Amino acid sequence: MDNKSHNHNMLKGYNMLFYFAGSMIMHEPSEECIVDFWERGILKNLPVSSSNPNFVIAASQLRDSFADKTIFGKLLREDYLRLFTTQFPALAPAFESRYGKEISDSSGYHSSSVTEFYNSYGWQSKFKGKIDDDHLGIELLFLTLLIDKYLILDDEACRVEMGKEIHRFINHHILSWVPEWNNRVQMHANTLSFKGIGNLILACSEDIFVLFGEKLTSTISTDFLRN
Residue 162 has pLDDT above 60, yes or no: yes
Residues 182-186 have a mean pLDDT of 97
Rounded CA separation 227/113 (Å)? 34
C-alpha 149/C-alpha 66 separation (Å) is 35
At 36 the pLDDT is 78
**107-140 residue pLDDT tens:** 433 445 899 999 999 999 999 989 999 999 999 9
65-99 pLDDT, tens digit per residue, is: 987 888 888 999 999 999 998 667 899 999 999 99
Pick the range with the lowest mean pLDDT from 6-15, 89-98, 168-177, 212-221. 212-221
Alpha helices in 121-191 (DSSP H): 136-152, 156-173, 178-188
Does the pTM exceed 0.85? yes
Return the percentage of the chain with pLDDT > 70, whole number.
86
Residue 219's pLDDT band, with cuts at 50, 70 and 90, is very low
Cβ-contact 199, 59 below 8 angstroms: no
